[in-house]
Amino acid sequence: MENLLEKIKETTNYIKNQVENFEPDYGVILGSGLGGFTGEMKIKFELPYTLIPNFPVSTVKGHGGKLIFGFLGDKKVVAMSGRFHFYEGYTMQQVAFPIRVMKFIGIKKLFISNASGGLNPAQQIGDLMIIKDHISLLPTNPLLGKNDDELGARFPDMSEPYDKSLIERGLAIAAQNKIRCAKGVYVGVTGPCFESPAEYKYMHIIGGDAVGMSTVPEVIVARHMLLPVFAIAVITDLGVTDNPVKITHEEVIAAANAAESKMSLIIKELILGDKL
Distances in Å between the Cα of 102 and the Cα atoms of 8, 13, 20, 23, 27 are 9, 12, 15, 10, 7
| Nearest CB to ligand HPA, comparing residues 82 and 117 | 117
Do the strands 42-48 and 66-72 form a parallel or antiparallel pair, or are they unpaired? antiparallel
| Nearest CB to ligand HPA, comparing residues 118 and 142 | 118
- Kindly give, in sequence order, each residue whose CB lies less than 8 Å from that of residue 87, ignoring residues fewer than 6 positions away: 190, 191, 192, 213
| Nearest CB to ligand HPA, comparing residues 94 and 116 | 116
Least distance in angstroms from the C-beta of 83 to ligand HPA = 13
How crowded is residue 15: how many other Cβ atoms within 10 Å of its Cβ?
Answer: 24
Residues that bind ligand HPA (CB under 6 A): 115-117, 191, 194-195, 211-213, 236-237, 239, 247, 252
Least distance in angstroms from the C-beta of 211 to ligand HPA = 5
Least distance in angstroms from the C-beta of 36 to ligand HPA = 18
Please identify the residue of the shown chain whose CB is closest to the bound ligand HPA.
117
Q: What distance in Å separates the CA atoms of residue 79 and residue 42, rounded to the nearest whole number?
A: 12
Q: What distance in Å separates the CA atoms of residue 31 and residue 231, rounded to the nearest whole number?
A: 11
Least distance in angstroms from the C-beta of 93 to ligand HPA = 22
| Nearest CB to ligand HPA, comparing residues 107 and 129 | 129
Q: What distance in Å separates the CA atoms of residue 229 and residue 218, rounded to the nearest whole number?
A: 10
Least distance in angstroms from the C-beta of 266 to ligand HPA = 19
Least distance in angstroms from the C-beta of 187 to ligand HPA = 8
Q: What distance in Å separates the CA atoms of residue 134 and residue 132, rounded to the nearest whole number?
A: 7
Least distance in angstroms from the C-beta of 116 to ligand HPA = 5
| Nearest CB to ligand HPA, comparing residues 55 and 86 | 86
Please calculate the CA angle 39-40-42 and round it to the nearest 5 degrees.
Answer: 90
| Nearest CB to ligand HPA, comparing residues 98 and 212 | 212
How crowded is residue 195: how many other Cβ atoms within 10 Å of its Cβ?
Answer: 21
| Nearest CB to ligand HPA, comparing residues 72 and 131 | 131
Answer yes or no: are the C-beta atoms of 231 and 112 closer than 8 Å.
Answer: yes
